[in-house]
Structure 1
Amino acid sequence: MKKIYIVIAGLLLGTTSCKDFLELPSEKDFDSSTIFEDVGKVEMAVLGAYTSTFNAELFYQFGMGNDEIFSTEGETNSKNQVSNYVYSPAVSPTSTYTTMYAGVEQANVLIRNIPLMTSADEAEQDKLNTLLGEAYAIRGMNMLHVVRHFGDVPYPTIPVVEMPNFSSSRVSRDTILDGCVRDLQQAIELLPWKGESGMPVERVSKNAAYGLLARIALYAAGYSLRWDLDSYAPGSVQLARRSDTQRIQELYEIARDACKAVVDRGENELIDYETIFRDLLNGKYNQESMFEYGQKGNDRNETRIGYTNGLFAHSQSFYNKSQPAMAALPTYYFEFEDGDVRRDVTISNYALTADSAHQMNTYANHMIGKFRVNWKADEGVAVNKRDINWIHLRYADVLLMYAEAENELNNGPTGVAVEMYEKVRLRAFQNDRSKIGETPTTYADFKNAIIQERKLELGFEGWRRTDLIRWGILYEKLTETKQEILDLANHTGKYTEVARYRAYQITDAKTFNDPTVALDFIPLENEPTPSEKEELESQGYTILDMYGSTAAFFNNRFTANEVWVKNIFRGLEKNKVELFPLSTNTIDANPGLRGQQHPLY
């Protein structure tokens, strides 16, 4: 079972309020409390820093607004508005911003003080080096989270108590991401391989650090929304890469080499796709998951994984309540090819009713399947705190990043790029090479294949929106997706042969570790005649209108004129919404940000 990491209150900054941030103990206070005189206490401080590496906003508000998922909440709800690009400084999300900076401050204190500690004991010194490496990794990955959502932001690299004042202004995201690259490179030098150290998956090993480095390098090389940091002129806003083409090349090399190091090491591997998430839900280790945010057994967890982003379970069901606030876009289900085992794991085609049965979902309420509560071995700590870890990084992501970097560096896929890409594809089709199709051979086609494969492989794992931005295609992809949603609603275009009805059998859902992945069904092009319906029902089938309103949850019809359909991506604007504005409160709390708002807000 996975270790439980609890915040050690008082060791380091444990909250994100401005008051507590400014009351961080001074270096003298740390010395007097002997934190940095004892390796064990330093380790507890590092574990406390890990609690500021994730929050619900990363998969909830920031996890929507892409071509996989939509908000099931009402149009006046702030989460729905963020999902559909209707936001302003008054309602811009703040939790990720404050949580990530709390972790950065914790890391800065550790990075400042750990090198001042020395030990004649070799094992103890190795431990200190590992702890320092973890601190560097935390700072780097936390700053990536801030930059990918807010762009140019303050970039503290020393503890608050050493700053000349508590005011800080925006810094170029290129400077920040280059700093993040250095942080992960430093972490790699200090951290042990997982196989040598036995480090739990909730802590950053050398393996994970390499993967995080590759991720940061790809973001640093990609597109982002930029503007003139001197004038803040609205006319200067544009989606662009950094101007230094040589550095872009170097960043792709860094990403490629980092992924290669993980692959060559051979400690990680792809496992059965369904098992990844059954293991995750039940706190088990495997060789694919490389780094997770630990919540198993922790009654303080508040991210609500499996509750807000799972399938629907009625409060009177065997599993108790699960209330998703997000669901799969109707079109996403149809992007998986026949035989792709990822579809029915990623997207649940059933909900759990009050009488503890599997009830089939309509196209409008297909739900997130990776974090479904019925796959757990127990209810968890509480109905809205199912103690499910969050996967920050897994091996399939590394393989796809490797393929992407190779394609960028060579203006087309190399043999290695094809091999990495096909490893992921083959796993999806249970190693049946006849089903994976021909791998593209040109730069553009292979890049598009990677873009699609990341969507199918990493669905609902929190990266799609900003991946689309770093590729420079958010507006185009979402505009295309909106049209496809309308085509499916109208049963036109490539969706003319989609079944309007399904016949399926309701089954019991009254056991933990529920083996049910998906409900089988008979597709029906048209509504069955009375005699056909009678025959099917005599065999125990239920007839479901896949465009209708019969559903356990989100019982809305799926037609083009439904409000929820018309309002998908309703605030989308190119060269504007690719970054969030800073919240009014964030700017008010930091004089250095006055006059530095996103120019189009």
Structure 2
Amino acid sequence: MNTKRYIKILGVSLILLTFNSCDDYLDVNSPSNTSESEVYNDTDYTYSALIAVYNQLAGDNGYGNRISSIIGQAADDFKTSGDYSCNDRRGISMYAACATNTELDRPFRQLYTGIERANLLIFNIPNSTVYTTGSNSDKALMDRYYGEALTLRAQFYYELIRNWGDVPFQDKPSSQYEHIFLPKTDRDEVYEVLLADLEKASKVIPWRAESNDPTSRVTKAYVKGLRARIALARAGYSLRRNPVQMVKGTDANKYYQIARDETFDIMQQRGSHNLNPNYEDVFRAINEGRMDNTNEMIFQVGAFGGNSRTDSKLGYYNGLRHNAASKWNGGGGLTALPTYFYEFNRYDQRRDVTINVFEINADDLSQVVKIDALTDGKFRKSWTKVTGPSQNLGINWPVLRFADVLLMYAEAENELNAGPTASAIEALREVRARAFSQNPSQMPEVNVGGHDAFFKEIVQERLLEFGGESIRKYDLIRWNLLGDVVTQTRQKLQRLLDGTGEYVNVPKYIYYKVGSYTPSQNAQQTVLSLDTYFVGTDKGNVFYAPSAASTPTGYTRINWQTAMVATMINDERKGWMQYYKANHSELLPIFQDIINTNYNLTQDYGY
């Protein structure tokens, strides 16, 4: 063990505790100038301070649970299970969260704690002795730390803005302000700073192929990918304060060009990251605690330590439902919309990775669930090595994948050229072809009939590709399609309830026998191996053809289409996105106690 490095890390951890000893919004105690100087005049100390910034991404109040699985899950793919209350996670999912909803409190505070920690590095590194007079290697190292701090600060602000809109912008440590009761800053001003910061960071952070760092640490591909995301957000729609309505960003083509150029650069570096030919492996890898086979995962939030501050509840709160008495115990906090299951072509390999049509019972056996109990499948406790009642599974949260880079590129190209270019079509087709690699003849061809037709292809492909990854909600908002999708999905749910239109052949029942469960089996094989009754040779059609009139001997009948009830569509406690209201619901309220501690902070957006 490197004792000197260990002592330094321990020492800087104690210093960082003094930075964040108070939970009040932006109320951060600063260390003495001497202590701060010591931290940033030593590369080991500075690295430890940087790790403390990364830590603010993790845990229950970060991407380990609330930001990933609660705040971001409310679209036409997944929703929070259970009945409405404005003061818990269901209020968020149904678009009627109160300002007293405690789920919104600590995530907001933690994002600002991350910003404060990042600001300390950004402020101190350029003035440190090791940076100004140190060796070339030390200066290069400090440059990288500086770039990583800029990138992480951009991530924290991006998350704040897409959930709460205009927020106070603090770009220096709290100790450098006369007071910290800052008013809101227009998001466009913040975006301009972040875009410039990320351009600067991209010059000092290496590609993954140039270093051996895992994807839980920022590389150049993520810097550029985040810059593309922010540029698309800046170009797109967002809910404004005055007047309170959805407005498209000004000078949109300038930002589409940034998104196009940054994603293009990443696509030229396939030695660092590439599309994994095996969709399931991307998610198996994060459950198994390893890199996926082609490093498609560009950046993920690391989870470790078995505690609520640094680990995650992915696979325990959400994911495949395992009975509490089973070997695994956990999952089921999110449910898929029944209509989402039928958005997938039956030959699309993403369906069975993304959505579970089964659960694990108390005897560790698989059994089919009703159509209103489908769960998200990318996080499964039984894909990890953890058994028993443990809630922290060490599963990382996926922030950016190479597939997203390809689809952002296709979108930007389509916008800039008023229609799809050959390279845009190829980028989208590459993502879709991976999903149909086992049945290429069944792949729907890309509609390239013009800007609008290709845009619809992008909207649909992103729905299928990123289910359960807390991307869909924000896509729909920046496209200003959330209201349209609410209307369209309610109509689809009604047709499924009625068994009409595209759902006319959906079976009323599924007949099944409880069967063995082998977690090592791939997702598609697991579904095909379910002991379901089907009249015909192609068992894969069991969810797409009318069911038998009576229950076959030895089988259990479970409601499928007949599990649909009107309360799923329009009910004050159970209705899907029941309280969505245009020009209001696109953003969340700030927790009221945070408003109360800052006399310059306003609630806005009708809350």
> 2:511 is paired with a residue of what secondary structure?
strand
Residue 43 of structure 1 corresponds to 47
Whether 1:74 aligns to 2:83 is yes
- Alpha-carbon distance in 1 for matches of 2:522, 2:426: 32
Q: Give, in whole Å, the separation in 2 of the partners of 1:436 and 1:514.
A: 24
Q: How many angstroms apart in 2 are the aligned matches of 1:212 and 1:269?
A: 17
1:454 aligns with 2:462: yes
The residue number in structure 2 matching 1:114 is 125
* 2:433 corresponds to 1:426: yes
Match 2:114 to one of 84, 103, 111? 103
- 1:89 is matched with 99
Taking a change above 3 Å as real, the CA distance of residues 211 and 16 of structure 1, as seen in their structure-2 partners, is farther
1:270 pairs with one of 260, 265, 275 = 275
Whether the 8 Å CA contact 1:259–1:401 is kept in 2: the answer is yes
Report SS of the residue matched to 2:268: helix
Q: CA RMSD in A?
A: 2.3
Q: Given that residues 151 and 223 in structure 2 are in contact (C-alpha distance below 8 angstroms), is that contact kept between their aligned partners in structure 1?
A: yes
Query: What amino acid sits opposite 1:187 in the alignment?
Result: A
Q: Equivalent pairs: percent with the same residue?
A: 31
1:127 corresponds to which residue? Answer: 141
> Given that residues 215 and 299 in structure 2 are in contact (C-alpha distance below 8 angstroms), is that contact kept between their aligned partners in structure 1?
yes
Matched, 1:218 2:218: no
Q: CA deviation at 1:72?
A: 1.2
| Cα gap change, 1:350 to 1:9, in 2 (>3 Å) | farther
1:392 equivalent to 2:403? Answer: no
Q: Which amino acid aligns with 1:24?
A: S
Residues 175 and 40 of structure 1: CA distance in aligned 2, closer, same or farther (over 3 Å): same
1:5-20 alignment runs, 5 A limit: 8-11=13-16, 13-14=19-20, 17-18=23-24
Structure 1 residues 115 and 479: alpha-carbon distance in aligned structure 2, compared to 1, 3 A threshold: same
Q: Does 1:142 align with 2:148?
A: no
Aligned counterpart, 1:186: 200
Once residues 194 and 269 of structure 2 are traced to their aligned partners in structure 1, the CA distance between those partners, rounded to angstroms, is: 23
Check if 1:489 corresponds to 2:504. Answer: no
Instruction: For 1:226 and 1:122, locate their aligned partners in 2 and report how far apart those are by CA, in whole Å.
Output: 46
| CA distance, structure 1, for counterparts of residue 363 and residue 439 of structure 2 | 39
Instruction: Map residues 182-261 of structure 1 onto 2, 5 A cutoff.
Output: 182-228=196-242, 236-242=243-249, 244-245=250-251, 248-261=252-265
**3-state DSSP class of the match of 1:331?**
helix
Task: Identify unmatched segments of 5+ residues in structure 1.
Answer: 229-235, 549-556
Note closer, same or farther for the CA distance 1:19–1:28 as it changes in structure 2 (3 Å cut): farther
TM-superposed CA distance for 1:97, in Å, is 1.5
2:298·2:401 contact (CA, 8 Å) conserved in 1? yes
Deviation (angstroms), 1:298: 4.6
Q: Residue 173 of structure 1 corresponds to which residue in structure 2?
A: 187
Measure how far apart 1:215 and its partner are: 0.8
Whole-Å Cα distance in 2 between the matches of residues 355 and 194 of structure 1?
44
Q: Residues 95 and 504 from structure 1, CA distance in 2 versus in 1: closer, same or farther, beyond 3 angstroms? A: same
SS at match of 1:544: strand
- Whether the 8 Å CA contact 1:26–1:161 is kept in 2: the answer is no
Superposed displacement of residue 120, structure 1: 3.5
> In the aligned structure 1, how far is the partner of 2:371 from the partner of 2:216?
36
Aligned length: 566
Deviates more, 1:357-366 or 1:61-70: 61-70
* Structure 2 counterpart of 1:429, one-letter code: F
Counterpart amino acid of 1:309?
N
Q: 2:420 aligns with which of 398, 413, 426?
A: 413
Instruction: Report the alpha carbon displacement of residue 348 of structure 1 after superposing the two structures with TM.
Output: 1.1
* Counterpart AA for 2:88: S
1:232 — aligned with what? none
Q: State the 1:599 CA deviation.
A: 4.2
Q: Which residue is 2:6 aligned to?
A: none
| Letter paired with 2:113 | A
1:41-61: per-residue Cα shift (whole Å, max 9, x none)? 110110110111251222233
Distance 1:16 1:572 in 2: 35
* TM value normalised by structure 2: 0.89
Match of residue 290 from structure 2: 284
- AA in 2 matched with 1:199: D
Identify the residue that residue 551 of structure 1 maps to in structure 2: none
The correspondence for 1:310, drawn from 303, 308, 319, is 319
**Local SS of the residue matching 1:447:** helix
Instruction: Output the amino acid matched with 2:350.
Output: R
Provide the rounded CA distance (Å) in 2 between the counterparts of 1:80 and 1:240: 28
| CA deviation string 1:387-414 (max 9, x = no partner) | 1011111100111101011111111100
2: distance between equivalents of 1:429 and 1:16? 52
Is 2:25–2:109's contact at 8 Å kept on the other side of the alignment? no
Verify: 1:559 aligned to 2:541, yes or no. Answer: no
State the TM-score, normalized to the length of structure 1.
Answer: 0.89
SS of the aligned residue for 1:44 comes to helix
Map Cα deviations across residues 321-340 of structure 1 (whole Å, 9 max, x no partner): 10422111111000001210
Which amino acid is the alignment partner of residue 207 of structure 2?
A: W
The amino acid across from 2:217 in the alignment is: R
CA distance in 2, matches of 1:188, 1:312: 41
Letter matched to residue 558 of structure 1: M
1:558 Cα deviation (Å)? 2.5
CA separation in 2, counterparts of 1:261 and 1:432? 31
Give, in whole Å, the separation in 2 of the partners of 1:566 and 1:30: 52
TM-superposed CA distance for 1:314, in Å, is: 1.1
Q: CA deviation at 1:514?
A: 5.3
Amino acid at match of 2:411: E
Report the CA distance between 1:583 and its aligned residue. Answer: 1.9
- For residues 528-573 of structure 1, what are the alpha-carbon distances to aligned partners after superposition, in whole Å with 9 as ceiling and x for unaligned? 455x612xx2xxx44322146xxxxxxxx43114658852211111
Letter in 2 for 1:281: N
Distance in 2 (CA, whole Å) between partners of 1:96 and 1:19 is 11
Q: Is the 8 A contact 2:289 2:395 kept in 1?
A: yes
